[in-house]
Amino acid sequence: MASIFEERVRSRTQKSRAVYEEAKLVLPGGVAANTKAISPYPLYFRDARGAYVTDIDGNTYIDLVMGLGIHILGHAPAPVMAAVRERLSSGPLPGMATELEVELARKVRRHMACAEMVRFVNTGTEATLMAIRVARAYRKRDKVAKFEGNYDGQHDLVQVSTSTIAGPVDAPEPSLNHSGVAKSTLRDLVILPYNDPERATALIAAHADELAAVIMEPVAGFGMGCVPATREFIHAIREATAKRDIPLILDEVVTNFRLGLGGASEHYGIKPDLVTLGKILGGGFPIGGYAGRRDLMDRLVTPTGRPSEDQGRISQSGTFSGNAVSMAAGLATIKVLEEGDVYRQLDVMTERLCGGLKRLATDHGITLAITGVKSMFQVHFGLDHLTTIRERSGEDFARATEFSHGLLANGVFAVPRPWFMSAAHTQADVDKILDVADGVFKEMKHAKPAGVAGGSR
């Protein structure tokens, strides 16, 4: 059964529908990435400025997806676009070293205490792949512990237990809900429960001798629905790993420059051994990065030029790694973040939106939890709180899809995933979203549950 708003979305987006019908023939699902395959079908966009995106039917939306967390300054911010244009005018220089990568590494180092040395790659997936490789080279072991409900990219080792669960809560088992991941990777994995310091540290202690690394999201974003680690939990994991000399890889692909200039490590006051970077760091262009302790990065990543001396080191290259366009865009973004009062403004706007949504839900008798930290958050229907993925069994995903359709039908681009505030969102934008949500909740209250499929990926 379609949601009560689905027909309205469809009637406004006939051009997207037509493109989708053709796109399906050449692109599986009509898109290049599963995240773009939204319900009822992908919308195809032609323009993005500030807080707004315009689809090919000419509908303009206030955007809450914000490039899956990239656009902290809004879409196409003038200083970033100018830096990119300037770079392009002298050639994009892929595959060549430029001073821009040096400058961007210095910026990361200045703001993130744990990032003593940095390497840039092109995606967050590559970032976690390489950070794990560094840890394995250091520990001379293969096993990696990751958390249930954490999404750390799409390579085999971490594409397990991202949004599904298996086994008992005190000893979670790897959950493979996607095909094509080599079963042999499971031998190298220990799955830990998130936000459960006692059980997680007990498992780290039990597997300590075999572990190369523990990788963790400080805010469990795209797998679990934007659930922050508690302070007690993140500090317990830091302590349990430090005590046993197991590198802790903090996956900050989403949180770097989102929770503040110093990312989640600064926000929580912890110093991981390695940190992974991405999204905001590239100013809207492809990026990933990994950084950390000098003794690990310098000794294990630096090439010597002589293969015989490379033993014990990792290999990381990449045709586009540190590409000058992403470097220039990232630098321009960070400069704006350093100069302005962006983070305070983001907090105020997010507070206004989340507080307003919560009030409206209460007024309409709708059970709603809002999880998140600073300017990243997600709404969850049918729950009043959410701290671990296992609690999501009670979540009403059909309602989330219905709400998303209601927002899409009324000019707010928001799908059931983490939402992100940007510096371009004004008070008027937030009030407009609240006005729309009020109307949508009102209709949802009177409608029967929709029974449509949905939820985070």
At which residue do the structure tokens 């809450």 appear? 64
What's the closest the beta carbon of residue 159 comes to ligand PMP, in angstroms? 10
Give the rounded distance of the alpha carbon of 133 from its chain centre. 21
Find the part of the chain contacting ligand PMP (CB under 6 A) among 98-106, 248-256, 322-330, 333-341. 248-256
Q: Put the strands of the sheet holding 274-278 in their side by side order.
A: 117-121, 288-292, 274-278, 248-251, 211-216, 143-147, 189-192
Residue 151 interacts with ligand PMP (CB under 6 A)? yes
Nearer residue to ligand PMP within complex by CB, 152 or 396 = 152
Binding segment toward ligand PMP, per CB under 6 A, in 110-118, 149-157, 224-232, 444-452:
149-157
- Is 330 a binding residue for ligand PMP by CB under 6 A? The answer is no
CA distance 210 to 203: 11
Query: Which listed residue (107, 143, 146, 279) is catalytic?
Result: 279
Concerning whether 251 is annotated as a catalytic residue, the answer is yes
User: Least Å distance between CB 418 and ligand PMP?
Assistant: 8
For residue 162, state whether it binds ligand PMP (rule: CB under 6 A): no
Q: What is the dihedral of CA 87, 89, 94, 95, to 10 degrees?
A: -90
What percentage of the chain's residues is helix, strand, coil (to nearest 5)?
A: 45, 15, 40
Phi and psi at residue 427, in whole multiples of 5°?
-60, -35
In degrees, rounded to 5, the angle at the alpha carbon of residue 252 between the alpha carbons of residues 247 and 253 is 125
217 binds ligand PMP (CB under 6 A): yes
Beta bridge partners of 371: 378
Q: In what order do the strands lie in the sheet with 60-63?
A: 45-49, 52-55, 60-63, 412-413
Are residues 237 and 214 in contact, defined by beta-carbon separation less than 8 angstroms? yes
257 near ligand PMP, judged by CB under 6 A: no
User: Binding to ligand PMP by residue 222, rule CB under 6 A?
Assistant: yes
Tell me if residue 438 is catalytic: no
Contact between 222 and 261 under an 8 Å Cβ cutoff? The reply is: no
Asked if residue 253 binds ligand PMP (CB under 6 A), the reply is yes
> Of 251-259, 322-330, 365-373, 382-390, which segment contacts ligand PMP by CB under 6 A?
251-259
The 286-305 site mask, x for binding ligand PMP (CB under 6 A), equals --x-----------------
Marked catalytic residue, from 63, 152, 251, 396 = 251
Q: Which of 52, 151, 290, 343 is catalytic?
A: 151
Closest approach of ligand PMP to the CB of residue 274, in Å: 13
Which residue reads 């015989």 in tokens?
Answer: 308
Nearer to ligand PMP, 262 or 406 (CB): 262
CA 378/CA 359 separation, integer angstroms: 15
User: Nearest residue to ligand PMP, using CB?
Assistant: 124
Token digits for 303? 């090439």
- Window contacting ligand PMP (CB under 6 A); options: 147-155, 296-304, 377-385, 419-427: 147-155
Does position 125 interact with ligand PMP (CB under 6 A)? The reply is: yes
Ramachandran quadrant class, 30 (left: phi over 0; alpha: psi -120 to 50; beta: rest): left
Calculate the alpha carbon distances from 211 to 80, 103, 139, 187, 399 in Å: 41, 34, 8, 12, 41
148 binds ligand PMP (CB under 6 A): no
- Is residue 124 involved in binding ligand PMP (CB under 6 A)? yes
Using the rule CB under 6 A, give the single segment among 137-145, 215-223, 373-381, 403-411 that binds ligand PMP: 215-223
* Residue pair 99/125 in contact by the 8 Å Cβ criterion: no
Q: Rule CB under 6 A: which of 97-116 touch ligand PMP?
A: none
- 318 token code pair: 């990449």
Alpha carbon of 243 to those of 50, 177, 191, 254: distances in Å?
Answer: 46, 34, 20, 27
C-alpha to C-alpha distances, 324 to 101, 127, 200, 330, nearest whole angstrom: 7, 18, 41, 10
321 binds ligand PMP (CB under 6 A): no
CB 406 to ligand PMP: min, Å: 25
Our finding on whether 250 is near ligand PMP (CB under 6 A) is: no
* 37: contact with ligand PMP by CB under 6 A: no
Say whether 347 is catalytic. Answer: no
Find the binder of ligand PMP among 251, 396, 402, 429 (CB under 6 A).
251
Which residue in 31, 37, 56, 68 binds ligand PMP (CB under 6 A)?
A: 68
402 binds ligand PMP (CB under 6 A): no
Which sequence positions are flagged as catalytic?
151, 251, 279
Binding residues for ligand PMP (CB under 6 A) = 68, 123-125, 128, 151-153, 217, 221-222, 251, 253-254, 278, 288
